[in-house]
Amino acid sequence: MSDRAFISQLEGYGLTFAEIHYYRLDAPSLLQLFVWQEYDLAPDFPVLLNFLDYWRREIEAALHSVRIAHERLIRPAEWRAVDGVISI
C-alpha cells in the first residue's frame, strides 16, 4: 500500500499552506483566520482554487484575503563546488 502524499510529491505536487482571512456576515467587523494545508501544484494551485470555490458556494463567510506559501519537498539535490581547504 502506497502513501497518497508521497505519490503526489513524485508527480510534482508540493506542500501548500494557505492563511485564509474571512469575516462572517453577522459580524463583519471581526476578521477571522482559517489555516489550510494540502499538496498542490504551483503556480496554478488547482486544489486550493477548488477549495476556495467550495468556500464561496457553501460557507456563509466572506473572504477577505488569502496568503499562500508553497514548497516542493522532493526535488533534485543541490550541489555546489567549494574551492578551499579547511584545516582542523
pLDDT digits (tens, 9 = 90+) for 30-85: 999 999 999 999 899 999 999 999 999 999 999 999 999 998 877 666 667 667 66
Helix residue ranges per DSSP H, 1-88: 4-10, 46-58
Q: Cell 469575516 belongs to which residue?
A: 23
Residue 12 pLDDT more than 60?
A: yes
* Annotated domain spans of the chain: 4-71
Please, how many CA atoms are within 13 Å of residue 46, restricted to the half-sphere of its CB? Answer: 2
Q: Say how far apart CA 24 and CA 50 lie, in whole Å.
A: 21
The span from the first CA to the last CA of the chain, in angstroms, equals 48
Question: Which pTM value belongs to this model?
Answer: 0.76
